Amino acid sequence: MDESVNLAARVVWGGFALGLVLGFVAARTNFCIMGAISDVINMEHWGRARMWLLAMAVAMTGANLLHYFDLIDLTRSFYQRPLLPWLSMLLGGTLFGIGMTIAGGCANKNLLRLGGGSVRSLVVLVFLAISAYMTIKGLFGQWRASYLDPVALDLASLGLRSQSLAELLARLTGMPANSALLAATGAVVVALLIFVLKDKDFRVSGEQMAGGAILGLLVTAGWYLSGHIGFAEDADTLEMTYFATNSRTIESLSFVAPAAYSLELLMLWTDQSLRMTFGIATAAGVVLGSFIHAVTSRRFHWEGFASLEDLRNQLLGGILMGCGGVLAMGCTIGQGLSGISTLSLGSCISVAGIVAGSMAAMKWQER
């Protein structure tokens, strides 16, 4: 029993450390996926978008090499499940993209702003958490289960064991699973790196290059922490289990569902069935990391709402992000880095929805 507690604590503190580094690095490099999309749409500037794509490439390489060498099993993650709820993921991604644009930042960006002194972001995160919890277990969840989840593609009926693009390649070509994994990962990573590194300005931007690489490594470390260090025999059930994750399986960085579970933990603190988890600790680490950067760079300042219209937009954006993030099974970090690092087909759908929703909202705002 003591060993199980120690292992869970190791995963939680490890997640907190990863979040701390993420918060500091993201604040230092001004990393923001909504901002990256905005830069491309409004200014045709690809600097932050290339940083995101570099982080993707590094995360894909790290995660799939860990899987290749049997250090983790990505097929156990919910990103890889053979049942593909494509409608929920597409709609959820679109709602999240619209919400983060209306609110001026995604879940991760609001955690960063909170660390920098934004009371406005605290309100956004609270409403995001309420909306997410309602979509997991509440009223929105009933609608999700009744109308969206049934619209799904059963990949198992097609002979596929997971949503991985590597699995699809193996099925189509007859390649061995490990060979298909290396081929699919290599093809996607090389394509991303060619696009990222062809820009001279980005190549000489040491801060953005380092930021993208570090963010990708943090996602990889998250997979290793929850999927290898935190995977052990449960002393009570004598079964192999994943410790200190809300999904009870392998996880990496993500912030929508952890926001909901953070609110649940704070509201029901004396409930002995609730525990601090990897996701909750990671979110807390991001806030502290951003706070440390804000203080050391002398950028910490209190920030409130500019107007009633600003308040309305922030609340609406938070609600859309909470609901959309659960439907899409992740946010710009949860799907845009962690999910897509597994080469999941569903993650590609969610990310496409997020980008499309954000672009549509930006065009609407221009008018």
Amino acid at the residue 154 = D
Structural domains counted in the chain? 1
Give the closest residue to 83 by CA, choosing from 160, 173, 12.
160
Residues spanned by the domain of 215: 2-366
Query: How far is residue 225's CA from residue 136's CA, in Å, rounded to a whole number?
Result: 25
Find the radius of gyration of the CA atoms of the chain: 20
What's residue 70's pLDDT? 96
pLDDT of residue 233: 87
Structure-token pair, residue 278: 């990897």
Residue the block writes with tokens 């958490």: 129
**Residues of the chain under the 70 pLDDT cut:** 1-3
Q: Is there a contact between 256 and 321 (Cβ–Cβ < 8 Å)?
A: yes
**What's the start-to-end Cα distance of the chain, in Å?**
60
Q: What is the pLDDT of residue 166?
A: 96
DSSP 8-state code for residue 331: -
In the structure encoding, which two tokens stand for residue 208, read together? 């953005």
Tokens of 349: 């759908």
Q: What is the pTM of this model?
A: 0.96
Q: What is the DSSP letter of 72?
A: S
**Average pLDDT score over the chain:** 95
Give how far Cα 21 sits from Cα of 15, 28, 202, 222, 250, Å: 10, 10, 22, 12, 21
pLDDT computed for residue 268 by the predictor: 95
Q: Looking up tokens 């009870």, which residue turns up?
A: 248
